[in-house]
Amino acid sequence: MVGGTPELRAFYEQRLDWHPCADDAGTENDDFRCTTLRVPLDYANPTGRTIDLAMAMLPASEKDERIGALVTNPGGPGASGVQWLFGAADSFAGTLHARFDVVAFDPRGVGASSPVRCLDDAARDARNTADGPAADSDRAAYKDRLDREFAAGCRQKSGDLLPFIGTRDTARDMDVLRGALGQAKLDYLGLSYGTYLGTRYLEQFPDRAGRIVLDGAVDPAQDRLSASVEQAVGFDIALSQFAKDCTHYADCPLGTDPDKAPAAAADFLDGLRDAPLPTHTPGRQLTANLGWSGTIGMLYGDATTWQPLRDAFTAAIRDHDGTDLLSFADQFNGRAEDGRYDNSADAFEAISCADSPGDTPSAERVQQALEELGEEAPLYSRGTTAAELARQDCALWASRANEPLHPVKAPPGSPVLVIGNVGDPATPLAAAKRLAEQLGNAVRISLLRGGHTAFGSGSSCIDRAVATYLIHGTVSAELVQKGCV
């Protein structure tokens, strides 16, 4: 059960004191158990400073049939695993809940686990609201100023944490968690960025990996520019599909021509730069930045999110009311009704930069990316310039990964289960295909519909496949061949 050096033994052997979870008002919830896991801030100095990671557990409902613990991560980076589990418990209903203690945690730097802070609420509001300069020649300088302000804020507010929040350290935390849970092997379900965390665990602890599910795969060998282009294409396709579907309804605010509706949607959102809309929230308007954020946030979902998004477009275009799109933007940005932000956006940027090797794309690669965007993501990438693509978002980050991007191999034993959605805009299916090929010892299932990630999205086929794999270690050859709906 114990791993690492003798100095780490106390961390692996710590006793987890589980107790009923309490909400913000202090009311206990007997459905879940909570605790903290103590880990070293710096694994190179395990006798130095420690931090506590917030954890939650949905205990197995059938104690006599319990297999063990299933550790999960919902993505991000920056998403709170604890809060996600509270809202996603129904996704595990049935066999998984019966056989596993489902365990989630807030990774270091996230949520209630020594959260990274970089911008205060007012600065984050200003950043999310502002549309920036309209002139292409001014946009790179504007982005550079924002990056400098963010990096300076992170150093000032969380400088002691920044060298230790990368995904490799979080993977080491997961191994300590495995030991503290009393398991020889880690069974794991990772979604979106959680797949990247899973591959980093496989790389560092191949002999301790049990049954691993990677859903909504991130390609660990893909550079940031290529990933951003691929994602832009994914969201461009999703926006077009939403807009074309809208024209099937008599009240569609984007018109009746499916070929013109996608451009109409983008024109409306871009037009908010010059004509922001009022909202029901005093002092707040719907700007282009917020309108695009709210739209993109809803496009993470599958077609079931199109009606509320269509209603929001109707209210905005016909009634000049930006309230609903503003609400979607706030959800996407982690803003509560009282104006306070969670730390997800700060953590996302900080962890992403900590993981970035900082490679600068060549001028040829930048031009190629610009052409790809113009051809395949003409709506989502309007106005994008070569200067913006050539910029290193993390150029000012002092604590970055010192290793080149590289593929990851899976250890022998149970094959890794990789899942990808055919229409996933955020982590397109191509990344799942590449990851499965890299791992070698992997099987891949496709969900034949849109939306970001497959587990818990309403596909009983996917949910059964995940449960069967985690419990029995098998995957249906027919599902691998034909996919799920």
pLDDT per residue, tens digit, the chain (485 aa), is 455 678 899 999 999 999 999 876 566 778 999 999 999 999 999 999 999 999 999 999 999 999 999 999 999 999 999 999 999 999 999 999 999 999 999 999 999 999 999 999 999 999 999 999 988 888 888 988 999 999 999 999 999 999 999 999 999 999 999 999 999 999 999 999 999 999 999 999 999 999 999 999 999 999 999 999 999 999 999 999 999 999 999 999 999 999 999 999 999 999 999 999 999 999 999 999 999 999 999 999 999 999 999 999 999 999 999 999 999 999 999 999 999 999 999 999 999 999 988 778 999 999 999 999 999 999 999 989 998 888 877 878 878 877 888 999 988 877 999 999 999 999 999 999 999 999 999 999 999 999 999 999 999 999 999 999 999 999 999 999 999 99
Of 321, 355, 424, 463, the active-site residue reads 424
Active site residue 459: no
Q: What is the DSSP letter of 164?
A: G
Known catalytic residue at 424:
yes
Q: Which of 80, 187, 452, 459 is catalytic?
A: 452
One of 114, 192, 240, 327 is an active-site residue; which one? 192
CA distance 333 to 270: 19
Do 403 and 357 touch, CB atoms closer than 8 A?
yes
From CA 78, how far away is CA 342, in angstroms rounded?
Answer: 10
Output Rg (C-alpha) for the chain, integer angstroms: 22
Nearest residue to 403 via CA among 221, 174, 196: 221
Per-domain boundaries in the chain? 6-115+166-222+407-482, 224-333
Give the separation between CA 200 and CA 167, rounded to whole angstroms: 7
**280 is a catalytic site residue:** no
Return the CATH superfamily for domain 6-115+166-222+407-482: Alpha/Beta hydrolase fold, catalytic domain (3.40.50.1820)
